Structure 1
Amino acid sequence: FVMFYACALDPENCGLRFATMLADVFVSGLYPPLTRMSSVSYLASYLSRARFLSPCFIVSLLKRLVDWCLEYCNIPGGNINPKAHRVFYSGCQAIMYVLCFRMRSIMDVPRLKSQLLLMPLETVLKHNLNPLKVCLPSVVSEFLQQSKAARLFTVSETFIFNDLLESELSRDFGGLERLDMFFPFDPCLLKKSDSFIRPNFIYWSMVKTAYHGDEEDNSDEDVDEDNGDHVMVDGMGRSPDEQDLDLDEFEYSLNKMSITPKNSFSCRLDGELRQPMKMPSRIRPSTSPESL
């Protein structure tokens, strides 16, 4: 979050270079798989949460990720294998995660909408490697719901996840490090530190999804509909002053940030009731003096 704050202070330089560096690490074959997976997790979380990044820049990095995933799909003999293709699945999940947060703002700009529709996203996600079945069900489910509403693409199969946060396949590709559930820029849990992050941070409860009707929108975003190059000054329709939350509202925002299904803390896998790892959003911020 120190890095996030630094990027917010200098979005046109530090903010863009940080994201570009993370993308460079992911697409490079010079780094070990865990480094590349961690890098794309940071990238996805950063692109989703940083309100100072323009939709135009986000689309350009999404294209880099989609192009890399498409090239990976062209490797002969690829079939579903969470462990062998874990870098590929982490890239696919990053793409879907970012679009869960940003799809509506991208689709609202005609030029960016055209760029997104031209990306070979459907080819990647419908490949025999089957990322829709391997990536986190909570991410896939939200992504598919928004994709259907935005007519981004359709899937012939019916995906029923039974409100699961995770699955056996997602745990396999995440490994012992659980990189399938690694979202580094989930809301900051330190209350006083959060006051520096919040003005430039997008909470899930602030996101306008693709399936929300136009009548629910507040048209007060400072975005140029012609090109989408401008930074969102007030994020998702809230001013920084309105986000000066007290502790109760702060905790409420933490609980609302995630696309995690409401009843995901006990899930049934292979007939057994298991307790999945809790998302960071469910951790209550400490009120002890040393943590504030």
Structure 2
Amino acid sequence: MRDHRIPDDGIYEGVRVLRRLPEGVEERPYGLFELEPLARTIGARVHGLDLSRPLTEALRTELNRALLEWKVLFFRGQHLTSRAQRDFAGNWGELETNPLLATGDDKETVRFDKAEGTTPTFENVWHTDVTFRERPAMGAVLQLREVPPAGGDTMWADMAAAYDNLPQDIKDRIDGARAVHDFIPGFSRFYPASRLAPFQDEFPPVEHPVVRRHPETGRKMLFVNTSFTTRVVGLDRDESDRLLRLLFQQAHVPEFQVRHRWEAGDIAFWDNRATQHYAVNDYAPHRRVAERVAIAGDRPF
């Protein structure tokens, strides 16, 4: 046989470990709504709820269990007002502002108003929101106000599945490792230095574990992303770059993903601790308008 070695540090064909629930957690039905799974480990559509109505504690508890189990939940045709969207997100904690992004009707609502020729802002890249903060967002609630006739989908990747499928030698290397996160690399793709410089003191580089544990489920999850993770602490630049390239690739595995085709008024609610997402910019020359409310999170461990 001729030499058939393939390059190291890639993504290879073969069976994937696709474990949706933490070990020891049993499947249970939902009693207050109907849930439609969209992929093996991530993504489910929730039927039978009007999110403009206040949540009972029982409903909030069951929705939180669904979020932990499926990582991103979709609700068709809600058409929430900005206040109702904020009120729904507020059931999960304090809301977070982002001075680097355009706002909607209030400072807690980010508006992504995209038409041909506008600034792309975190489209066409896999990322986890605001990992450059000491306490990255716990989650986010996104609503599409205006949808292009084709394109403009959003994808999410399950970073617990991404960790589960790493080779054991890579797991051994990164368990306990820490990485630096910085807002400048991600935002400098579309903002000039003059726009970013005033925020350098407000958002200094921070360190987070390369593998974080989910504070509610205890699962290990890969916690690095292309937009904000700059280096692995303690490694020289070449070794750090090579390791990060391998880890960044894991979000690209289709078996770890779910893809949502938007309709106006749809809501997506995702666990930012456990996922990455990718907004697909393939809809020019049409317009796409989305509004997002982010929920403040905790310090990764």
Instruction: State the TM-score, normalizing by the size of structure 2.
Output: 0.25
Q: Which has the higher helix share?
A: 1
Question: More strand per residue: 1 or 2?
Answer: 2
| TM-score relative to the length of structure 1 | 0.25
